[in-house]
Amino acid sequence: MNYDGYFKYDNNIANSYDLDRQEEEHWKLENVYIENLYNCINIMTLLDLPVGTGRFLQYYGKVEKVIGIDISDDMLQVAMKKADKLSSNIVLHKGDAFSLQYPDEYFEHIVCFRLMHLIPPDKRLNLLNELKRVVSKKIILQVYMSKATPLSQKIFRKLRALVTQKNKIQKPWSHIQSYNLFQKDFDFLVSTTNLKIIKKTFLCDYLGGEIYVFELSK
Ligand SMILES: C[S@@+](CC[C@H](N)C(=O)[O-])C[C@H]1O[C@@H](n2cnc3c(N)ncnc32)[C@H](O)[C@@H]1O
């Protein structure tokens, strides 16, 4: 399989990843969501996938065993520096979300933030099925939900490209391909995998869409 998320999180992106995003409204809201969630529950095993630069590791203090997986060595290196300063309950390693080297139901929880939009639509089901296989209780899934129709989205993107070009405000991640996910696509994924939505939280609007966190159970 070949898509941008596999190979574009290189050294350049990794080293400025947190800094480039830390002022975003949704970055802050996502952090608060995870911090609040893991502040008040005790769980044994958690998979953070993709762990990226390890932005959430600081919030998993009460979790017995944390595994963080990412496909990018460069992102993992940044995460490892953070893990070194935290407790010894964190293990980070390279891996592919589509074929996880863990037995069925190994993890109580999976935290999966900012991955779905990178996955080509025809591969989303494979991803969700693999997450479902290795989880025993809950998947905490962040998604960018598109609101616009494909045509108005196209117009919006063109306009945005013009404005960003004119004002020279290209984001460092503008060259990474992402894919629209509409509510109907999401509903299809959830019903096909037989997962249940136990909680749906709206975080904020973002670029003509909305950001949600779903808690899904088997
Ligand atoms: C936008 S970052 C999100 C990182 C982190 N979850 C966060 O919220 O900041 C996307 C990450 O997905 C990773 N990634 C992309 N495809 C992957 C795959 N198939 N398996 C594991 N990691 C993958 C990339 O290397 C990158 O670190």
Question: Tell me: the pLDDT tens digits for 91-147?
Answer: 999 999 999 999 999 999 999 999 999 999 999 999 999 999 999 999 999 999 998
Is 31 a residue whose pLDDT tops 70? yes
Q: Which of 109, 92, 11 shows the shortest CA–CA distance to 51?
A: 92
Q: What percent of the chain has pLDDT over 70?
A: 87
Which amino acid residue places its CA nearest to atom 12 of ligand 1? 50
8 Å CB contact between 4 and 69: no
Mean pLDDT of the chain: 91
Rounded mean pLDDT of 79-94? 94
Q: Give residue 160's pLDDT.
A: 61
Q: Give residue 87's pLDDT.
A: 77
Q: Give residue 156's pLDDT.
A: 61
Which amino acid residue places its CA nearest to atom 25 of ligand 1? 72
Rounded mean pLDDT of 39-66? 96
| d(CA 15, ligand 1 centre) in Å | 14
8 Å CB contact between 202 and 210: yes
| d(CA 53, ligand 1 centre) in Å | 9
| d(CA 49, ligand 1 centre) in Å | 7
Q: What percent of the chain has pLDDT over 90?
A: 78
- Spell out the domains of the chain, with CATH numbers in brackets: 4-217 (3.40.50.150)
180-189 pLDDT per residue, tens: 999 999 999 9
